[in-house]
């Protein structure tokens, strides 16, 4: 701890996600400097006398090893992979083996159009056909939850990519150019930070409500992506600030590389460590916001379904058909839980300060 007075700045506040939840463990741009060492990655070192090859320890391989030691992170990684694969292939597999699609309503038999408990057939006896039961229209919940997972994961990933695209460009430009422009750009970020995002997103989504479910989905990407790039911009800017005075940038400038190229080919790749960590933590936040919006009826529209809209349908029938809420809800919680642990694990793995070996 230093004795110097510390300039307190709004930027010191914990980063906020759209729901007002702080990201208490946001990678500190100054601490995690996954610097240009990455440039020498994967270099095999030849021992002079013996001739045996000693594998160079790259930063990435080190990080990967540390990640594997973190049980919770590995658990998270495995669950995320399993759920993703299940969501992508599941509905198709169910269609192949059992013959129904997620939105198949058994309209040829009125007795089937009702909500069965898990593992129960229409006759009330045990059956493997609907492991998560059915919804009010007799649609298979398991297939619906898997298909909802597709949408939820898709929204999470695409919106995070949008936020990456905006955040990286914005942060890198502000950091590299510096001066007045930097000041102006970061003040804008400060102002945007203090706005009630979710509220504005709700206004946007309800006013521009699209007639088609697909249109609404695109609107959702735009809305979620455009509010979640702020922290990313700050992280990238911090990284670029610490990198831009290093020799490799000077060398690039001396050899006449254009500014755009320096920013996007030399600086941005070197900020990847913190960016990956933060992106992993953004996905669950965006998914949560999407679910929140869909729950309120502003997000994904029928016939498309996400975990949020499935939970919203289920919440209305909680008294009689609790499984309609519990299965999508628990699946979603498990996914978010795993993604959060994976993100935390990645941060620990990529943070050189934690390196103990």
Partner 1 sequence: MLRFIIKRLLVTIPTILVVITITWGLIRLAPGNFYSGEKRLPPAIEKNIREKYGLDKPWYQQYGRTMWNILRHQDFGTSLNFRGQSVNVIIRRSLPVSAGVGILAYLLALLIGIPVGSIAALKQNSRWDYSSMAVTMLGISIPNFVLGPILVMIFSLSLYWLPPSRWNGFFSSNIILPVVTLSAVYMAYIARLTRAGMLEVLRSDYIRTARAKGLSEKDVVIRHALRGGLMPVVSYTGPALAFLLTGTVVIEKIFALPGLGNYFIQASLNRDEPLVIGIVAFIAITLLLMNLLVDITYAYLDPRVRY
b/e 119-144 (16+ beta carbons within 10 angstroms → b):
ebebeeeeeeebebbbbbebbbbbbb
The minimum distance between CB 119 and partner 1, in angstroms, equals 19
Contact mark string toward partner 1, 205..224, x via CB under 8 A: -xxx----------------
Q: In sequence order, what DSSP letters do the residues of 109-120 get, joined into one string?
A: -GGGSS-PPTTB
- Grouping H, G, I as helix, E, B as strand and the rest as coil, residue 54 is strand
Whose tokens are 């029938």? That residue is: 317
Burial of 300 (0-12, 13-18, 19+ CB in 10 A): buried
Contact mark string toward partner 1, 267..306, x via CB under 8 A: -----------------x---x--xx--xxxx--------
Query: Among 271, 292, 278, which residue's Cα sits nearest to residue 342?
Result: 278
At 175, which helix (H) or strand (E)?
A: helix 141-177
- Grouping H, G, I as helix, E, B as strand and the rest as coil, residue 146 is helix
The minimum distance between CB 52 and partner 1, in angstroms, equals 38
Q: Does 12 bind partner 1 (CB under 8 A)?
A: yes
Question: Which residues, 6+ apart, have CB-to-CB distance to 248 below 8 Å?
Answer: 36, 39, 266
Q: Does 117 bind partner 1 (CB under 8 A)?
A: no
Q: Does 340 bind partner 1 (CB under 8 A)?
A: yes
Provide the 8-state DSSP code for 55. Answer: P
Contact mark string toward partner 1, 24..43, x via CB under 8 A: xx------------------
Please select the residue that binds partner 1; options are 31, 40, 81, 318, rule is CB under 8 A: 318
The minimum distance between CB 43 and partner 1, in angstroms, equals 35
Contacts with partner 1 by CB under 8 A: the residue count is: 59
The minimum distance between CB 6 and partner 1, in angstroms, equals 5
Residues that bind partner 1 (CB under 8 A): 1, 3-8, 10, 12-14, 16, 19-22, 24-25, 72, 191, 194-196, 198-200, 202-204, 206-208, 284, 288, 291-292, 295-298, 308, 311-312, 314-315, 318-319, 322, 325-326, 329-330, 332-334, 336-337, 340-341
């Amino acid at each position: 701890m230093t004795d110097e007075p510390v300039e307190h700045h709004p930027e010191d506040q914990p980063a906020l996600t759209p729901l007002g939840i702080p990201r208490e463990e946001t990678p500190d741009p100054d601490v995690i400097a996954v610097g240009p060492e990455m440039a020498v990655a994967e270099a095999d070192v030849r021992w002079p006398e013996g001739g045996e090859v000693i594998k160079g320890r790259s930063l990435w391989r080190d990080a990967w090893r540390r990640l594997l030691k973190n049980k919770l992170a590995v658990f998270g990684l495995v669950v995320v992979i399993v759920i993703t694969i299940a969501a992508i292939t599941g509905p198709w597999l169910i269609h192949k083996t059992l013959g129904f699609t997620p939105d198949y309503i058994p309209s040829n038999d009125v007795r089937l159009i009702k909500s069965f408990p898990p593992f129960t057939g229409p006759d009330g006896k045990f059956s493997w056909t609907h492991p998560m039961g059915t919804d009010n229209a007799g649609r298979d919940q398991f297939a619906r939850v898997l298909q909802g997972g597709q949408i939820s994961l898709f929204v999470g990933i695409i919106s995070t990519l949008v936020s990456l695209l905006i955040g990286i460009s914005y942060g890198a430009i502000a950091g590299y150019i510096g001066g007045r422009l930097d000041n102006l750009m970061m003040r804008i970020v400060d102002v945007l930070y203090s706005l009630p995002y979710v509220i504005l997103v709700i206004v946007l989504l309800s006013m521009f409500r699209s007639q088609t479910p697909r249109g609404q989905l695109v609107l959702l990407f735009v809305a979620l992506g455009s509010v979640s790039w702020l922290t990313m911009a700050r992280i990238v800017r911090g990284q670029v600030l610490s990198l831009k005075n290093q020799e490799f940038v000077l060398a690039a400038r001396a050899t006449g590389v254009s500014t755009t190229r320096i920013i996007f080919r030399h600086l941005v790749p070197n900020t990847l460590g913190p960016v990956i960590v933060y992106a992993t933590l953004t996905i669950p936040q965006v998914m949560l916001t999407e679910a929140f919006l869909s729950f309120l009826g502003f997000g994904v529209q029928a016939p498309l379904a996400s975990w949020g809209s499935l939970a919203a349908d289920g919440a209305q029938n909680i008294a009689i058909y609790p499984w309609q809420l519990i299965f999508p809800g628990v699946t979603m919680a498990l996914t978010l839980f795993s993604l959060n642990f994976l993100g935390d694990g990645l941060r620990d793995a990529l943070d050189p300060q934690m390196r103990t070996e």
